A = this chain, B = another copy of it.
Amino acid sequence: MAVIYADNNATTQIASSVLNEMMPYLTEYYGNPSSMHTFGGQVGKKIKEARAQTASLLNATPEEILFTSCGTESDSTAIRAAIMSSPSKKHIVTTRVEHPAVKNLCEQLAKERFRITYVPVDQNGALDLDFLYQSLTDDTAIVSIMWANNETGVIFPVEEIASVVKGKGIAFHTDAVQAVGKIPIDLKNSNIDMLSLSGHKIHAPKGIGALYIRKGTKFSPFLIGGHQEKGRRGGTENVASIIGLGAASKLSQELMTKENTDVKTLRDTLEKGLLEKIDHSFVNGVKERRLPNTTSIAFEYVEGEAILLMMDQFGICASSGSACTSGSLEPSHVLRAMGVPFTAAHGTIRFSLSTYNTMDEVNLIIEKLPPIINTLRNMSPFWKQNQ
């Protein structure tokens, strides 16, 4: 059965051009870039190229790019660097809708010596900026706010926030794992101090990420060891995947227009088709200022996981929330923070498309999903109560 993969915010297919760039470094060029010999040294040169490619996607300089093992490591590195660099400060500001990589880290830090402010969002998923700005104090070590939400695709005004935060002398970090490659990012002309990205969300392999660290930002390493990454991260470089991230960054730049035209058209068609055919359904979050590939749709009075299982029989892959929070029976903390009613949050499905999706696939989802929702609603006690 053909797979219809509409779960690209969870992970993406490695682009063939990316894998082609990686293959020599998984086979003949296996040297350690730290080695003195030419065989190792030539690997170092290719890493340099990848660093420039990744920097270019963000309009940053190569020296501002630190390669990590994933978005989660980038987030931990950023937040811990900021608090290590300001040891007297004990306050962290973040949002109620962050990815677990930031949310769960902050919850751990709260058990230690930190006070955490979680900025709320409204029913459209928009941040309460007044609340945010009023929470900033001389004790605030860092503000960490995602660029775009992984579940709803809602985009936060991080550049505007960064300017205000920076004006108060506070470090600003953004988890841009979902934004990078989908919307243009220009760090040179921003006040963002640190930015996390992940390779496997932009058609590079799993297990590679990067952290942008603005030149001059106070830093201390999270992963302490050898001299790699100019002493900012110990551990032998994940050579092939770094090269893959470089290639994927280059590809992302090339595909940026397509992402915001063709992919957006697919997403809009899918969203419109499903909302038209299925009543008691609505989109979670603002429709504007949203990632072009993502739609989070609540189908009231049914269970998201049941929808996923029935779609799975047609090879349709989507998500009932973040893959990183799956396994939990709780409805998404993002939807709860937005005040989405229980019966809608539980029936929410996130579709996230990519350049590899087609209009035929979108039409097939629009054809297959309405009868699934019907079937499930006919079995649902909540549905019957509300009819």
Distance, CA A30 to CA B104, complexed state (A) = 26
Q: Mark A66-91, 1 if CB is under 8 A from B, else 0.
A: 00011111011000000000000000
* CB contact between A226 and one of B69, B100, B207, B234 (< 8 Å): that residue: B100
Residues of B near A76 (CB, < 8 A) are 223-225
Answer yes or no: A329 CB below 8 A from chain B CBs. Answer: no
Distance, CA A39 to CA B322, complexed state (A) = 16
Residue of B nearest to A239 (CB): B206
Known: A19-B27, A205-B26, A234-B100. A7 touches B37 (CB 8 A): yes
Closest 10 CB pairs of A and B: A207-B238, A226-B324, A69-B69, A72-B235, A72-B225, A101-B225, A70-B235, A11-B32, A34-B323, A10-B32
Q: Cβ of B100 and Cβ of A35 under 8 Å apart?
A: no
Q: Cβ of B225 and Cβ of A75 under 8 Å apart?
A: yes
Q: Cβ of B10 and Cβ of A19 under 8 Å apart?
A: no
In this complex, the interface size class of chain A, counting residues with CB under 8 Å from chain B, is: 35 or more
> Looking at the complex, which of A122-130, A312-320, A333-341, A372-380 is the stretch in contact with chain B?
A312-320
Q: Cβ of A39 and Cβ of B3 under 8 Å apart?
A: yes
Known: A10-B32, A35-B7, A237-B206. A40 touches B323 (CB 8 A): yes
Distance, CA A305 to CA B12, complexed state (A) = 44
Distance, CA A125 to CA B39, complexed state (A) = 30
| A15 CB to nearest chain B CB (Å) | 10
Distance, CA A73 to CA B69, complexed state (A) = 10
Answer yes or no: A228 CB below 8 A from chain B CBs. Answer: yes
Can you sample 11 A-B contacts with CB below 8 Å?
Answer: A3-B39, A10-B32, A10-B34, A34-B324, A39-B317, A69-B238, A72-B225, A104-B224, A104-B234, A205-B240, A227-B324
Q: Cβ of B73 and Cβ of A223 under 8 Å apart?
A: yes
Answer yes or no: A241 CB below 8 A from chain B CBs. Answer: yes
Residues of B near A22 (CB, < 8 A) are 26
| A318 CB to nearest chain B CB (Å) | 8
Answer yes or no: A137 CB below 8 A from chain B CBs. Answer: no
- Which A residues between 313 and 366 are near B, CB-CB below 8 angstroms? 315-320, 322-328
Residue of B nearest to A105 (CB): B224
Answer yes or no: A62 CB below 8 A from chain B CBs. Answer: no
Residue of B nearest to A70 (CB): B235
Q: Mark A230-245, 1 if CB is under 8 A from B, else 0.
A: 0000111111110000
Answer yes or no: A13 CB below 8 A from chain B CBs. Answer: yes
Residues of B near A32 (CB, < 8 A) are 7, 10-11, 206, 323
* CB contact between A207 and one of B13, B72, B208, B223 (< 8 Å): that residue: B208
Q: Cβ of A40 and Cβ of B317 under 8 Å apart?
A: yes
Residues of B near A327 (CB, < 8 A) are 34, 227
- Which A residues between 90 and 129 are near B, CB-CB below 8 angstroms? 99-101, 104-105, 108
Residues of B near A212 (CB, < 8 A) are none
| A327 CB to nearest chain B CB (Å) | 6
* CB contact between A14 and one of B3, B30, B316 (< 8 Å): that residue: B30
Answer yes or no: A200 CB below 8 A from chain B CBs. Answer: yes
Residues of B near A26 (CB, < 8 A) are 14, 19, 22, 205
Residue of B nearest to A227 (CB): B327
Q: Cβ of A35 and Cβ of B72 under 8 Å apart?
A: no
Q: Cβ of B39 and Cβ of A100 under 8 Å apart?
A: no
Q: Cβ of A36 and Cβ of B70 under 8 Å apart?
A: no
Known: A69-B73, A205-B26, A226-B101. A36 touches B319 (CB 8 A): yes
- Which A residues between 200 and 214 are near B, CB-CB below 8 angstroms? 200, 205-208
Residues of B near A236 (CB, < 8 A) are 11, 70-72, 198, 200, 206-207, 323-324
